[in-house]
Structure 1
Amino acid sequence: MRDFPSCFGENGVQVADSSSSNTSRTAQNLVTCVYQCRLRGRSCLITVTWSKNLMGQGLNVGIDDSTNQCLCKVDIKPWSFSKRKGSKSLEVDSSRIDIYWDLSSAKFGSGPEPLEGFYLAVVVDQEMVLLLGDLRKEAYKKTRATPVPSNAIFIAKREHIFGKKIYGTKAQFCDNGQIHDVAIECDMVGLNDPCLSIRIDSKMVMQVKRLRWKFRGNNTILVDGFPVEVFWDVHSWLFGSALGNAVFMFQTCLSAEKLWASQTLSDPNILPWSCSQKLRDSQLQSLSFSLILYAWKNE
C-alpha cells in the first residue's frame, strides 16, 4: 500500500498532467481505506481500495506489516457476475490468510464504495481480523471464523471527488463516531479574489479569504469536540491547468504535519508515498484519523 502521496511539499501535488485527461477521469472513481489491525499479535495495516471504471467495479486488498513489508495483496479486477462473490487463500509466514467477499446484493451510491448489502472479511488462522459491511451473520457463517471482537481501527481514507463549485463526501472522524457530511465550496469563475469555505453538516466551520495569497495552509476546527487539523493546497486550481486538482486533508492526530514530508514527484502519474511508514512514525492512537481528498473540477 503505497499510494498516499505527500501533498504539501514545495511543489504541491499534481496527479495527472494536462495531456492525460483519461488518467484523471479514471482516477476520480477511487476510494482507499486504511485499517490498523493485529495479525498474530503484531500490528499491521490493511488497505482496502474500491475502484470503478468503464469495465465495472474493482477491489484491492493489501496487508503491510510493521516494517512496511507487503505481506500479501489481492487484486479483484473489474468483475463480471462471477467475481461479485468469492474468496482467496494465501500462505504468509506460516499463517493462512483468507479473504472473502460477497457483493452480489451490494448497493452503491455515486462512488465505488458499497453502501450496504455486502461483506468483506479478512481471516487469519480462522480468526476474524477485519470485517466490513452489514452482512455480518452471513460473513461468519461463510468464513466459520472465531466470533471474537475485532480490534481493527479505521485510521485513514483517501477519496477522489469532483464538482464544479461544491465538493462533498462523508467522513467519520473518530472510532464509532457520527458520520458527517463534509462540503468544500470554492468558486473560481470570474472572481479576482476567490474564497474557500468548508462546511460540516451544513455548518460553516472554516473560511479562507484572499485565496490567491493563501493557496496552501492549515487551520484547526472542532468536530465532535475533537480538534481536527485541516490542510489545503489549491495551487493547481488557481495557477495550474484546467485538469489540475486541489488536495485537502482532515487529520485528528496532533502530529499530522509529519504526514506531509516534502518530496518532488518525478512522474506526476505516480504517487510514491509509503503510508505505512508515515502512519507508524506519527504514532497514531485510537482516535486518530486522516481523510485525504483530491478535488477535481468537472467540465
Structure 2
Amino acid sequence: MRDFSCFSENGVQVADAASSSNASITTSSSKIGQNLVTCVYQCRLRNFSSFIITITWTKNLMGQGVSVQIDDSTNQCLCKVEIKPWLFTKRRGVKNVEVGSKLIDIHWDLASAKFGVSPEPLEGFYFAIVVNQDLILMLGDMVKDAKNKIDASGFAPNVVFVSKKEHIFGKKAYSTRGQFCGKGKVHDIMIECDLMGTNDPCLLIRIDGKTLMQVKHLRWKFRGNFTILVDGLPVEVYWDVHNWLFGKLMGEAIFLFQTCLSAEKMWASQSILEPSWSGSLHRDPHTQGLGFSLVLCAWKNE
C-alpha cells in the first residue's frame, strides 16, 4: 500500500538525533487526557527461565492504580495483582505471592511520583518484581532507594521491553511521549487529523515537532502503512482511522509504531486491517524477531 501521498519518493522519512527533544507540543484546540497505559516486558531469571510481565497503569474518578500480571513461558498466568495506591493511600509497600515453588515479591514506592497527562509515572518512583530473590524487573529512577529496601541478588535484571499500548484523547490533535525501543530516546509524538469542514481530510504524524508522515485523501486511504526512520531505526507506522471517518462519533483510531524490518510479514500473517484488530494487536511476546511495538488508541473527545 504505497500509493498514498507522503513526503518522500521511497516512503521513508527520518527523525534525526538533532531534532529538539524538548520541542513543545501545544494542543490548544484539544484537551488531551489518558486513562490507561499497558506495558509488556519479557524477563529472564539466572536459570534462563522466562516470564512475561504485563503492567497496566490506570486513572479514573476513584484515583490512580496499577495492576500486574505475570505469565510463565507457556503463557500460563502465575498471578495477577491489583494495587490502588491513591484510593487506599498505599503509596509504598510490598505484596508477596507464593505460586508453587516460586515466591514473587512486588515492591513499589509511588509516594513522590510525578505524572504528566498519563497514568504512568514519569519520575520519583520505583516499581520492582523479585522472583525467588532474583530481581527480574525494575522500573523508575529511585534505584538507590530500592536497593536499600529490597532483598534481591543484583540490580541489573535481564529484561526486554516488548510493547506499550496507550489510550489518548483529543479533537483534532493527539499527543504523547514514547520510545520506539526499550532503552531509546523519549520522543514527542503528535498525531493531527482535522475531519471538520473539509471533504478531503489529511493525517499528519510529527516526531519532536518534525512532520514525518502525511496522508492525503484519507477517505480513500483510511488504512495503510508507511516507513519512517527514528534514531536510525526503521519504524513501520500502521494506521486505521475507519471509525473516525465512518464509524461512531466517539470511535477510536489505531496507530501502530513497529520497530521491525519484517513488519510487513507480520502485517500479512495477522489480520490487523480488520476493524477488530485493536483488541488483538498485542502480539505474542514469545515470538522472536518482531521488535518493539507502540500502540496508540486515539479517541475523539467531542
Q: TM (normalized to structure 1)?
A: 0.83
Q: CA RMSD in A?
A: 2.4
1:20 paired residue number: none
Report the AA paired with residue 295 of structure 1. Answer: A
Question: Equivalent of 2:224, from 210, 217, 238?
Answer: 217
- Aligned partner of 2:62 in structure 1 is 55
Distance 2:281 2:294 in 1: 16
The secondary structure found in structure 1 opposite 2:284 is: helix
Q: Cα deviation per residue 1:99-142 (whole Å; 9 max; x = unaligned)?
A: 01111111111111111111100011112110101111111211
CA distance in structure 1 between the aligned counterparts of 2:180 and 2:278, rounded to whole angstroms:
24
1:147 Cα deviation (Å)?
2.1
Mean alpha-carbon deviation: is it higher for 58-67 or for 230-239?
58-67
- Contact 2:254–2:278, Cα closer than 8 Å, also in 1: no
Write the distance in 1 (CA, Å) between the matches of 2:200 and 2:54: 40
Q: Alpha-carbon deviation of 1:264?
A: 11
Q: Given the alignment of the two structures, is residue 34 of structure 1 paired with residue 40 of structure 2, yes or no?
A: yes
- CA positional deviation for 1:37: 0.8
1:140 partnered with 2:140: no
Distance in 1 separating the partners of 2:230 and 2:76: 34
1:43-70 residue CA offsets vs partner (Å, 9 max, x unmatched): 2211111000000001001111222111
| Contact preservation (8 Å) 2:95, 2:106 | yes
- 8 Å CA contact 2:240, 2:273 repeated in 1: no
What percent identity do the matched residue pairs reach?
Answer: 62
Count of aligned pairs between the two proteins: 267
Equivalent residue for 1:229, pick from 225, 236, 261: 236
Contact 1:140/1:147 (<8 A) preserved: no
Asked whether the equivalents of residues 28 and 296 of structure 1 are also in contact (C-alpha less than 8 Å), the reply is: no
Higher RCO (Cα < 8 Å, 6 or more apart)? 1
In the TM superposition, residue 243 of structure 1 has moved relative to its aligned partner by 0.8
When structure 1 is superposed on structure 2, of 217-226 and 63-72 the one drifting more is: 63-72
| Mapped pair 1:90 → 2:97 | yes
Runs of at least 5 residues in structure 2 that lack an aligned partner in the other structure = 1-32
Q: 1:50 to 1:231 in 2, by over 3 A?
A: same
* Matching of residues 1-299 of structure 1 within 5 Å: 28-39=34-45, 40-77=47-84, 79-257=86-264, 258=266, 261-262=270-271, 273=280, 275=282, 278-281=284-287, 283-284=288-289, 288-299=291-302
Q: CA deviation at 1:221?
A: 0.7
Structure 1 residue runs of 4+, over 6 Å off? 263-266
Q: CA deviation at 1:151?
A: 1.1
